[in-house]
Amino acid sequence: MHRTLTEYARCLYGDEYGATPECSLEHRESCFVEEMTFADAEAILAMLRELCPHVVDGHLPVWVRNLAYRLVLLQRSDEPALLREAAENLWRHGPDWDDIAADLIRRADALEIN
């Protein structure tokens, strides 16, 4: 088993900033998604920030990034900075999700006002 979600993602998708580690484990996308689904927000954010530090880079598929942010926001829905980060990701990989990104910004604004 991989020690971290980041390590699993790196083995499965590669890493733009470093070599993919030698690993004898089986890498199945469905198992990775299952592990990410039940990971805590900190583990998911660590993976995103390490493998995609500039939002537009990295080898994680867009659908994995979108799912990762969705899972994080389900756990930490009251953090304006995180809502804005997720919105930026959607805008960078849209335009299909522009309306969702705009809604995230509205939610962030509302939280900052209250």
The pTM is what? 0.91
State how far the Cα of 44 lies from the Cα of 72, in Å rounded to an integer: 7
DSSP class per residue in 76-87: -TT-HHHHHHHH
Helix axes 80-92, 98-113, angle to 10 degrees: 160
pLDDT band per the 50, 70, 90 thresholds, residue 75: very high
State how far the Cα of 106 lies from the Cα of 112, in Å rounded to an integer: 10
Q: Which residue has the higher pLDDT, 114 or 104?
A: 104
Q: What percent of the chain has pLDDT over 70?
A: 100
pLDDT band per the 50, 70, 90 thresholds, residue 79: very high
Tell me the residue type at 14: G
Residue 67 above 90 pLDDT? yes
Residue 1 above 80 pLDDT? no
Mean pLDDT within 66-78: 97
Mean pLDDT within 75-87: 96
> Phi/psi at 93 (nearest 5 deg)?
-120, 20
Residue 114 above 90 pLDDT? no
- Total structural domains in the chain? 1
Q: Give residue for tokens 């080898």.
A: 59
Which domain covers residue 16, as residue numbers? 5-113
